[in-house]
Amino acid sequence: MVGMTKKNTIFWLCIFLLPNLLGFLIFIAIPIASSLVVSFTDWDLVGSINFTGLDNYIRLMGDSEFWIALRNTFFFILGYIPLVMIFGLLCALLLNKKMKFRAFFRATYFLPVITSWVAVSLVWKWLYNPNFGLINYFLSLIGITGPEWLNDPNTAMIGIILTSAWKDIGFVMVLFLGGLQNISPTYYEAASIDGASKIRELWSITIPLLAPTTFFVTIISLINSFQVFDQVMIMTEGGPGGSTTVLVQNIYNYAFRYYEMGYASAMSWILFLIIFIVTLVQMKFQSKGVN
Amino acid sequence: MNEQQLKRRNLIKKILFYLVLIGGAFIMLVPFLWMLSTSFKPSGATMVFPPEFIPENPTTENYKEVTEVFPMMRFLWNSIFVAVLTTIGQIILSAMAAYAFARMHFKGRDKLFLLYLATMMVPTQVTMIPQFILIKEFGWLDSYQALIIPTMFGVFGTFLMRQAMLSVPRELEEAAFMDGANHFKVFLNVCLPAVKPTIATLAIFTFMQSWNNFLWPLIVVNSNDKATLPLGLSLLEGRWGTDWSLMMAGVVISIVPILAVYLFAQKYFIQGMTMSGMKE
């Protein structure tokens, strides 16, 4: 760099970095720090702020509502992850082949991904309608009396899981398509010389070589699904009978319905802790993969 | 197996393959088609069994009602306004900061960038409570500022742009400095043109995120006047929860613009989504 003095650098830094840095501090860094502080208080947005130490966290441990929300979140994850992974991979395998209308099919499978959660949830709520919904109509065609779906505590979460998987399959598919393109064709050439069947190729080449992608996609889906909210809020609002209340729904309720900011903040830090642990595991595995 | 048998087997395989593909496309498309069909039904026609796939007496009444009785066009405008400004702000702010992080030398640069990166791990649910309190203190509740300004500062955008700018060749920059250019000229004439695809990707990604955002508007907006489409739809549902044809008309209105953008810039959508996956 020619003729750059120190004063000069400071001038340009103020222009380039300062606006972003200020916004970062005001809307991201300081909120994170203050959220941690608030989680140790009993603030209700109007009264005075009292430090209550670990009280919120202790209360959380004994709060059955919180444990139910945690259990529901895990139930969601347990249903959702295998569905999106398996069908996302299947779609990627299908659409990785050369074929007619490939662009059309890819666009179709990706369509739900670009649609907002609110729009998707409303459409599915209509599909799930027990009396006039399309799903129970299709079920009736094969002689099955459909369930009450979102109105029944036993099936409401299943309904949310199916909708969520439907929406995100295209996203997982795109990530897998990227992984498939990174597998060198020479492996398949060698396999076909050896006369390996397609199924054999899938088990011995594609799936093992896709492992890093699979791991990555699992972690991403896991982190996202701990934050599941929009579809729950629109489709069931956590009901019926708390059967679909998830972590973020619980945080939302405490913060913006009951105004218990301290308690809600403590909950959000538990959420962070869970995501942090998942991320750490990912980093550990990734660095292993590099070596 | 003779040649004819082999040919036939391949044909059957091909047919099966396409059947599976079409079956998948069917599952992906039917909810959208059903939504579209419902939106053209007179309200009584949603309560028939077996359902009508193609409305017997199609009507555009629902679109009229949802835009006249309900401020759907207002929501549409709010969504466009907020998404466009958020995107422009995010691009400018992250590109400039990225330039500082990638192309300038200053003390503590890498430590500061590490702080940026560290905050990416924190879920939005942690920051939303203090952000809400801040917005309330600023007196910004139920305003465009509340919807736009906090969402302009995405760490992910800065990260993405920095990665792109790191790959700009030094020689280009040095030649420009030799010719007497200053940082601003180098930024504008050397760096930005070199990272155009990343800008497009970030633009689409930010636009879509803003367009589909529900939780933040739900927290800071409480009137029809400033509600964006997702929030507006949820209000529509609260009011006419059982009038499915009306609601589906509203949903169609909310999907069409983003669909148009998607068809126009498919490649960048997919890149944006894939990269957003990388951020965690």
- Runs of H (alpha helix) within chain B: 3-39, 61-68, 72-103, 109-119, 124-137, 144-152, 155-166, 170-178, 183-186, 192-194, 196-212, 215-220, 229-239, 244-264, 266-278
pLDDT (0 to 100) of residue B222: 92
**DSSP letter assigned to residue B48:** -
* Domains of chain A, start order: 39-290 (1.10.3720.10)
Cα distance between residue A2 and residue A10, in whole Å? 16
Cα distance between residue A129 and residue A148, in whole Å? 8
Tens-digit pLDDT profile for residues A58-103: 999 999 999 999 999 999 999 999 999 999 999 999 999 888 888 8
Contacts of A97 in chain B (CB under 8 A): 17
Output the DSSP codes for A219-246: HHHHHHHHT--HHHHHHTTT-STTTT--
With 80 as the cut, is the pLDDT of residue B275 above it?
Answer: no
Interface touch B274/A109, C-beta < 8 Å: no
- How does residue B53 score in pLDDT terms, banded at 50, 70 and 90? confident
- How does residue A289 score in pLDDT terms, banded at 50, 70 and 90? low
Cα distance between residue B237 and residue B250, in whole Å? 10
Compute the half-sphere exposure of residue B128: CA atoms within 13 Å on the CB side of its CA. 22
- Looking at every residue in chain A, the average pLDDT score rounds to 92
What average pLDDT does the segment A258-285 reach? Answer: 92
Interface touch A134/B30, C-beta < 8 Å: yes
B233 near B254, Cβ under 8 Å?
Answer: yes
Tens-digit pLDDT profile for residues A209-254: 999 899 989 999 999 999 999 999 999 999 899 999 999 999 999 9
pLDDT (0 to 100) of residue A2: 45
Each domain of chain B, given as residue ranges in start order, spans: 3-61, 71-236
A positions 23-52 inside 8 Å of B (CB): 23-24, 26-32, 34-35, 38, 45
With 70 as the cut, is the pLDDT of residue B280 above it?
Answer: no
Contacts of B124 in chain A (CB under 8 A): 227
Task: Give the residue on A whose Cα is nearest the Cα of B32.
Answer: A123
pLDDT (0 to 100) of residue A277: 93
A60 touches B: beta carbon within 8 Å: no
Calculate what percentage of chain A has a pLDDT beyond 90.
75
Interface touch B280/A30, C-beta < 8 Å: no
Q: Give the C-alpha distances (Å, rounded to integers) separating A202 from A177, A208, A210.
A: 14, 9, 10
- CA-based radius of gyration for chain A: 24
With 70 as the cut, is the pLDDT of residue A161 above it?
Answer: yes
Higher pLDDT, A7 or A96: A96
A235 near A121, Cβ under 8 Å?
Answer: yes
Cα distance between residue B118 and residue A242, in whole Å? 34
- How does residue B52 score in pLDDT terms, banded at 50, 70 and 90? confident
Those residues with Cβ within 8 angstroms of residue A73's Cβ, 6 or more apart along the chain or in another chain:
A225, A226, A228, A246, A247
What average pLDDT does the segment A190-210 reach? Answer: 87
Those residues with Cβ within 8 angstroms of residue A274's Cβ, 6 or more apart along the chain or in another chain:
A226
From the CA of B108, how many Å to the nearest CA of chain A? 12
Q: Find the length of chain A.
A: 291
Residue type, A216: F
Task: Give the residue on B whose Cα is nearest the Cα of A44.
Answer: B133
Angle between helices B244-264 and A117-127 (to 10 degrees): 140
- Runs of H (alpha helix) within A17-63: 18-24, 30-38, 55-61
Cα distance between residue B138 and residue B152, in whole Å? 17
From the CA of A215, how many Å to the nearest CA of chain B? 12
Tell which CATH architecture fits domain B71-236: Orthogonal Bundle (1.10)
What average pLDDT does the segment B206-212 reach? Answer: 94
Calculate what percentage of chain A has a pLDDT beyond 70.
97
With 60 as the cut, is the pLDDT of residue A4 above it?
Answer: no
Angle at A146 (CA atoms; ends A142, A147), nearest 5 degrees:
160
B positions 206-265 inside 8 Å of A (CB): 208, 211-212, 214-215, 218-219, 229-231, 233-234, 237, 244, 247-248, 251, 254-255, 258-259, 262-263
Interface test with A, best of B126, B137, B148, B216 (most A CBs within 10 A): B126
- How does residue A185 score in pLDDT terms, banded at 50, 70 and 90? confident
Angle at B280 (CA atoms; ends B149, A111), nearest 5 degrees:
80
Task: Give the residue on B whose Cα is nearest the Cα of A103.
Answer: B266
Tens-digit pLDDT profile for residues B94-141: 999 999 999 999 999 999 999 999 999 899 999 999 999 999 999 999
B positions 152-181 inside 8 Å of A (CB): 152-153, 155, 158, 174, 177-178
CA-nearest of B32, B3, B16 to A99 is: B16
B101 near B109, Cβ under 8 Å?
Answer: yes
**DSSP letter assigned to residue A260:** -
Q: Which two tokens stand for residue B233?
A: 């739809």
Cα distance between residue A95 and residue A110, in whole Å? 12
Tens-digit pLDDT profile for residues B215-226: 999 999 999 999
Q: Which residues pair with A51 in a beta bridge?
A: A41
Residue burial B18-48, b: 16+ Cβ < 10 Å; e: rest = eeebeebbeebeebbebbbbbbbbebebbee
Interface touch B280/A220, C-beta < 8 Å: yes
- How does residue B279 score in pLDDT terms, banded at 50, 70 and 90? very low
Contacts of A272 in chain B (CB under 8 A): 121-123, 126
Interface touch B35/A123, C-beta < 8 Å: yes
Cα distance between residue B231 and residue B76, in whole Å? 11
Contacts of B127 in chain A (CB under 8 A): 27-28, 31-32, 35
pLDDT (0 to 100) of residue A290: 47
- How does residue B55 score in pLDDT terms, banded at 50, 70 and 90? confident
What φ, ψ does residue A148 adopt, rounded to 5°?
Answer: -80, 0
pLDDT (0 to 100) of residue A9: 84
CA-nearest of B97, B91, B36 to A19 is: B97
A positions 153-172 inside 8 Å of B (CB): 166, 170-171
Interface test with A, best of B270, B273, B274 (most A CBs within 10 A): B270
Interface test with B, best of A114, A167, A286 (most B CBs within 10 A): A114
Closest to B28 (Cβ–Cβ): which among A112, A131, A234?
A112
Tens-digit pLDDT profile for residues A102-124: 889 999 999 999 999 999 999 99
| Sign of the CA dihedral with B23 first, then B25, B26, and B27 last | positive
Q: Which two tokens stand for residue A254?
A: 């405490």
With 80 as the cut, is the pLDDT of residue B151 above it?
Answer: yes
pLDDT (0 to 100) of residue A159: 97
What average pLDDT does the segment A157-186 reach? Answer: 94
From the CA of A65, how many Å to the nearest CA of chain B? 18
CA-nearest of A153, A160, A83, A80 to A128 is: A160
B126 near A32, Cβ under 8 Å?
Answer: yes
Tens-digit pLDDT profile for residues B10-47: 899 889 999 999 999 999 999 999 999 999 999 888 88
